Structure 1
């Protein structure tokens, strides 16, 4: 499950919209993947899911995403990083300066 799929897995429209907005802002700013993990953790800790099972499932899905995409980011290629974080479109439409910003965001400088 990549980042966009994680966001779309939230069943409650208002919560999904709020998370989508936060993730969209992260995709545009200069903050890295650790900042994203903190952002999502903070969001999840400050929202109220109507269904406890849905909240627990999101927590589990986020934990799995974090382990695969963030904690193990050093073992991923640039293309894998772009996939995990839903940034292929941003990469393809970016100039060299914005591509460098994305490399930094995804810890892919080298």
Structure 2
């Protein structure tokens, strides 16, 4: 499951106000300046400090997030740039960038600038 697929799964439960906030944060992350490590920390805090109305929904979404985090974030150091772009659903955005400076922002976001 890549990032956009996770967002789509979260959308299924966005009738819950807390889940709707999670969905909004996940969508906005792709446009902000924070990297994948900051994303992981924010989502972990979100699940730890927010109360999703239905425990099954919480467990489902957190379980999927944990799997994504393990595969995509904890394993990011061994990935190629193309793999990172795929996992975080940033291929189209990256390919549309016109400047090297803008591409470097995506490299930093995906922890690929070392």
TM over 0.5: yes
Query: Which position in structure 2 is the counterpart of 1:12?
Result: 14
Write out per-residue CA displacement over residues 10-51 of structure 1, whole angstroms, 9 at most, x where no aligned residue: 213344432232123322222211100011112222332222
Distance 1:16 1:5 in 2: 15
TM-score, normalised to structure 2's length?
Answer: 0.84
Distance 2:102 2:19 in 1: 27
Distance 2:8 2:49 in 1: 18
Unaligned runs of 5+ in 2: none
Q: Which structure has the higher relative contact order (CA within 8 Å, separation 6+)?
A: 1
State yes or no: 1:51 paired with 2:54. Answer: yes
Query: Which position in structure 2 is the counterpart of 1:105?
Result: 109
TM-score, normalised to structure 1's length?
Answer: 0.86
In the comparison of the two structures, how many residue pairs are matched? 110
Change (3 A) 1:92 1:15: farther
Unaligned runs of 5+ in 1: none
* Coordinate RMSD, CA, aligned: 1.7
Which contiguous aligned blocks of 4+ residues in structure 1 show a shift greater than 3 angstroms?
13-17
Task: Give the deviation of 1:66 after TM superposition.
Answer: 0.6
Change (3 A) 1:65 1:51: same
Query: Which position in structure 2 is the counterpart of 1:86?
Result: 89
